[in-house]
Chains A and B, each alone.
Chain A
Amino acid sequence: MSLLDVRDIAVSYDGRRAVEGISFTVEPGEVVAVVGESGSGKTTTAHAIIGLLPRNASLDAGQILLGENDLATWSARRMESVRGAQIGLIPQDPSNSLDPVKTIGAQIGEVLRIHKRGDRGTIRRRVVELLARVGLPDPQARARQYPHELSGGMRQRVLIAIAIALEPRLIIADEPTSALDVTVQRRILDLVDDLRAEFGTAVLLVTHDLGVAASRSDRLVVMKDGRVEEQGTTREVMSAPAAEYTKRLLGDAPALSARPFKDAAAAEPAIVVRDLVKEFRVGRSSFLAVDGASFEVPRGTTHALVGESGSGKTTTARMVVRFTEPTSGTVSIAGAPDDRRFRRHVQLVYQNPYGSLDPRQSIADIVEEPLRNFRLGDRATRRARVGELLDRVALSRDLLTRRPRELSGGQRQRVAIARALAAGPEVIVLDEAVSALDVTVQAQILDLLEQLQRDLGLTYLFISHDLAVVRQISHTVSVMNRGRIVESGTTRQVFTEPRHEYTRELLAAIPEPVR
């Protein structure tokens, strides 16, 4: 008998059906990955199983058999005895998933207290054991610390310790590593694998990352628009996808589609960065966010700055667009004036397409704003230009009167790109510009960026933590670690013959089937 048997479940939000006809099983000790893009219903499905659907959602139909018990029929009260003890949860975002005002030890001990496993002393000892088990050094001291004193990777280990504390039969891991750097992601996934081997726990891995799903699961369930598109063993689905959607997903995932490398063209440099240093003061001490960075970007090409969080890549980008003053060193951008017109020449596109558009403005106003600011043309020519810009980024002109919230994430990022293009820049700095997007949308935006580069001769500085995306779009790469550029070269060189230890570690951390 299966450990978990989900039969034909349906979930509605405020009466609107979001998920329907979902059936799959999880065998003891098995890893089943539920993959899909945002809005596919994968998280809703996971939350339905553990009984944590939000208030406005309801489980309308189906059975959720955990062993012999149908959890779908259980009361909220009764589910409390299952949660934590039989089903554990590893949440998505370690930064906000721990109560900020309680110690680590109290939060791990809590699950033991709730299920009444031992007195204070026993619980305290068990907490230290668990912290040691998930690989945190000096567990006794960790137990007394607060979440904000730990790094993201350490917090995710604490959350794993909570999930495994009672050795549940099933762990639901909801995007457990999407907020983490690749090297940390790898270590966390390894840890989950080890624990599964040790306790024989089954894992339901919910993820948007096909690379992670493919390298870590026994079976795959592919979801789209609240339905299961396809399921089977991971090997079968990856090698011979049956559903059209799965094929497209595999094709769009930058990590999985091995495109040819771009070779750097010999052109005069559009951006020259020399010995850039940025020092930040924190109280009395100071630290070097960027420590002597130098690179050149030939005109009409893409240079990628890759690195993990805290590597100094965003600070470097901000200095290139003159939002931050360097402590020392120079940035010169060929042909860029020194006054306010600098912004006509150099533009920035941010990561978050939700936050970088004024929610009260119409799309037409947003795209037109740079033209108004630089007094380019009269009303009629500006309106005409806005229309052209929308055509350029392949958005329908029907959207001109809409507001940002009426648009999808991909559409919003297109608007942000159109706005960046409005004043006719030659250099665009893209700070994690595709990181928040689903793979298929990401692939479309990357195609758009390449096409714009060809048509308009744009030079891109592409900031990213995602090596697979970098491999696809960039001609040259600089790898940053702790404020320093540890390796630079053409994308081909860096990816095929990495010279620096850190680059090798980064490349090794990309999920398995990609390499």
Chain B
Amino acid sequence: MTRYLLSRVGQAALVLWAAFTASYVLLQLLPGDSILIKFQNPELGLSPQQIAEIRAYYGAGDPPLLDYLNTLLGFLTGSFGYSIDTGSPVVERLAEALPETAKLASAAFVLAVLIAVLIAFAASYSRTSWLRGALLSVPSLFISVPAFWLGILLIQVFSFRLRLVPVIGGGELQQLILPVLTLAVPISAPIAQVLARGIDQVYAQPFVPVIAAKGATRWWILWRHVARNAVLPAMTVAGLTFGELIAGSVVTETVFGRGGIGRLTEQAVNAQDTPVMLAVVVLAAAVFVLVNLVVDVLFPVLDPRLKAAS
């Protein structure tokens, strides 16, 4: 078990380093120059010499490998450099944005899992085939709904028509409802699909009639046995949806005008603020890797057969 854990942690560190390096290289290759975008503005009235000095200050002239190693060292020691756009440390900007997104994303994730479980359970529990078919087609619908459209639709219906949730103002919880829903719906779809399919596969296993032969009710069988067995592949998918969660928060935060990592990303891209973009990418990768590490570690706990293998 310890060896399994160590190798997984090692792999996670490797993935993080690869993500950092890949995004560093890509950001370097981007055409355009963030410093020029900001300081070449004629209104600022800076001379070419002054701009060159600013460039030197940000280390823009350093040889690429040296710059790479400097940045990597900075990341390892927790210093992500300075935002070119605002001049403030990237760490500060992240720290400001992170709690908002964490609230939004974690609430959305929990809601997504609830929706997924509800759909999958209802589909497998229903005996009417048209109802089952209808429930099973819900995920396909959910996954094809664009987040920006859903967000606008929800605002239209719940805020403007029904006036249930205020657009501006209101408590923190009220402000969260619509963005969380917008983010949760598309994410719940793959989890629901995999869970429903997993449940169907487990139902086809020979051990299910044996449990029924003990006199168990349908709910007992579904809850205590089938769901337990079907949860593993769904968990893998749930871990993978964290990537979508981060991507989805960009759109959601923009549509709802919320601050957060998504909004920060959008601003950084507009300003070609490379240090911020790099930090955001690495942060997203870190969260993604961490979540999947947790999933991997949970696997043998949920399925004893994997304990021997690991």
Contacts and interface: CB of A to CB of B under 8 A. Distances in A.
Interface of A: 47, 50, 52, 55, 76-77, 80-85, 87-89, 91-93, 96-102, 110-111, 114-115, 146, 148, 159, 162-163
11 contacts: A52-B212, A83-B215, A89-B209, A89-B213, A97-B207, A101-B304, A101-B305, A110-B214, A111-B215, A146-B304, A162-B210
Interface in B181-220: 205-207, 209-218, 220
Interface in B201-247: 205-207, 209-218, 220, 225, 228-229
A96 B207 contact: yes
Nearest to A96: B206
Given A96-B206, A98-B207, A99-B229, A146 B212 contact: no
A84 B206 contact: no
Contact of B213 (A88, A98, A99, A115): A88
B206 A101 contact: no
Contacts of B220: 114
Contact of A159 (B210, B215, B303, B304): B210
Interface string B293-310: 000000000111100100
A77 B215 CA distance: 9
Given A91-B209, A97-B206, A98-B207, A110 B216 contact: yes
B205 A101 contact: no
Contacts of B215: 80-85, 111, 114-115
Nearest to B302: A101
Chain B interface mostly = helix
Interface string B255-268: 00000000000000
A420 to B, nearest CB: 32
B277 to A, nearest CB: 43
A97 B207 CA distance: 4
A110 B212 CA distance: 11
A162 B214 contact: yes
B228 A110 contact: no
Interface residues of B, number: 23
Contacts of B212: 52, 83
Contact of B216 (A80, A88, A91): A80
B211 to A, nearest CB: 7
A159 B210 CA distance: 9
Given A91-B206, A97-B207, A148 B213 contact: no
A249 to B, nearest CB: 27
B213 A84 contact: yes
A99 B305 contact: no
Given A52-B212, A99-B207, A111-B214, 7 more contacts: A47-B209, A55-B127, A80-B217, A100-B207, A100-B229, A100-B303, A148-B308
B215 to A, nearest CB: 4
A101 B305 CA distance: 8
The 8 A-B pairs of least Cβ separation, nearest first, read A84-B215, A89-B213, A111-B214, A84-B214, A83-B215, A96-B206, A146-B304, A80-B215
B86 to A, nearest CB: 52
Nearest to A85: B215
A115 B215 CA distance: 8
B213 A83 contact: yes
B308 A110 contact: no
B170 to A, nearest CB: 45
Contacts of B302: 101
A287 to B, nearest CB: 16
A76 B207 CA distance: 19
A434 B246 CA distance: 56
A84 B216 CA distance: 9
A101 B300 CA distance: 10
Nearest to A112: B214
Contacts of A77: 217
Contacts of A110: 211, 214, 216
A280 to B, nearest CB: 16
Contacts of A100: 207, 229, 303-305
Contact of A148 (B216, B217, B229, B305): B305
Contacts of A83: 212-215
Nearest to B228: A101
A469 B78 CA distance: 73
A107 to B, nearest CB: 8
B225 A102 contact: yes
A52 B203 CA distance: 13
Given A80-B216, A148-B305, A99 B211 contact: yes
A146 B305 contact: yes
A93 B205 CA distance: 11
A202 B127 CA distance: 34
B206 A93 contact: yes
Contacts of A101: 228-229, 302-305
A20 B308 CA distance: 48
Contacts of A146: 304-305
A353 B215 CA distance: 36
A84 B225 CA distance: 17
Nearest to B213: A89
A180 to B, nearest CB: 15
B154 to A, nearest CB: 38
Nearest to A81: B215
A76 B219 CA distance: 13
A82 B216 CA distance: 10
A260 to B, nearest CB: 41
A99 B206 contact: no
A433 B146 CA distance: 55
A88 B214 CA distance: 7
A283 to B, nearest CB: 10
A96 B211 CA distance: 12
B305 to A, nearest CB: 5
A108 to B, nearest CB: 10
A12 B242 CA distance: 47
Interface in B50-66: none
A52 B206 CA distance: 12
A83 B206 CA distance: 17
Contact of B225 (A81, A82, A87, A99): A99
Nearest to B307: A146
A148 B215 CA distance: 24
Most buried by A among B210, B216, B228, B229: B210
B125 to A, nearest CB: 12
B206 A148 contact: no
A146 B228 CA distance: 15
Contacts of A76: 218
Contact of B214 (A47, A92, A93, A114): A114
A52 B213 contact: yes
Nearest to A159: B210
A332 B254 CA distance: 74
Nearest to A165: B214
A148 B305 CA distance: 7
B213 A92 contact: no
A52 B207 contact: no
Most buried by A among B209, B213, B218, B225: B213
Contacts of B303: 100-101
A97 B210 contact: yes
Nearest to A83: B215
Contacts of A98: 207, 210
Contacts of B229: 99-101
B218 to A, nearest CB: 8
Contacts of B305: 100-101, 146, 148
Contacts of A81: 215
A446 B225 CA distance: 43
